[in-house]
Structure 1
């Protein structure tokens, strides 16, 4: 008698579980705005360009425009691998190098750059 009850309970449990599983199968349709892929691509470009996100840079020079132009030309001939730019922050023109993801990357580059530009230093620009 006890064995029949156990068998009956097991059968009911199996049938109930099978019904619950089959009741939860379905199809999901996701619709998204057409602008989302465009915005994600734009955000990726902005992070890569250093417009947003936490990035580190190296400053080579701060002073007048003519000297900044000379410094950036010299830098670009010696180190073409890292991007460089001249930034104007009143009253000086500054030569900034790189767009490093973390301080370790920036420090490694700084060791190399200091061989030619001993006054160079690493910094983290303020967010715009």
Structure 2
């Protein structure tokens, strides 16, 4: 009775030790795609057809509002070079919008950064994207 147990345990140890030495196969994947696909992806990235979130950092009306808006936009462009900025005019207010975020989470993270400079900034989702 002991001899079959010894043989079984020997086989189990042998099987276990050989399974440790096995390795998965290594492979290399190469992708061959048309170069126009990259151009199309860049084009679609620039389109504002999705519901995006933006951050408004400035809104003012009055006689000096346009010059204030332009200086605020140039300052915002220097502070946040990775985000687009635009000067919008909705009568009688000039507004500066920064960024174009796909999700609310991205916009919230960016707002934390923007609020260090512009305390009254807030997130909005414009109805008419260009």
Consecutive aligned runs of 4 or more in structure 1 exceeding 2 Å deviation: 47-51
- For structure 1, the residue ranges without an aligned partner over 5 or more in a row are 1-36
1:62 and 2:63 correspond: no
The residue number in structure 1 matching 2:74 is 73
1:52 and 2:54 correspond: no
In 2, distance between residues paired with 1:66 and 1:127?
25
User: Is the 1:56–1:122 contact (alpha carbons within 8 Å) kept by the matching residues of 2?
Assistant: yes
- For structure 2, the residue ranges without an aligned partner over 5 or more in a row are 1-35
TM-score (structure 2 length as normaliser): 0.60
Name the structure where helix makes up a greater proportion of residues: 1
User: Is the 1:58–1:120 contact (alpha carbons within 8 Å) kept by the matching residues of 2?
Assistant: yes
**Cα RMSD for the two superposed structures:** 2.0
TM-score (structure 1 length as normaliser): 0.61
User: Is the 1:50–1:99 contact (alpha carbons within 8 Å) kept by the matching residues of 2?
Assistant: no
In 2, distance between residues paired with 1:88 and 1:124?
16
Secondary structure of the residue that 2:116 maps to in structure 1? coil
Secondary structure of the residue that 1:126 maps to in structure 2? coil
Q: How many positions carry a matched residue from both structures?
A: 87
User: Is the 1:52–1:127 contact (alpha carbons within 8 Å) kept by the matching residues of 2?
Assistant: no
The residue number in structure 2 matching 1:101 is 102
Give how far 1:79 is off: 1.4
| Cα deviation code 1:50-105 (max 9, x no counterpart) | 53111000000012211101111111121111111101111111100011001000
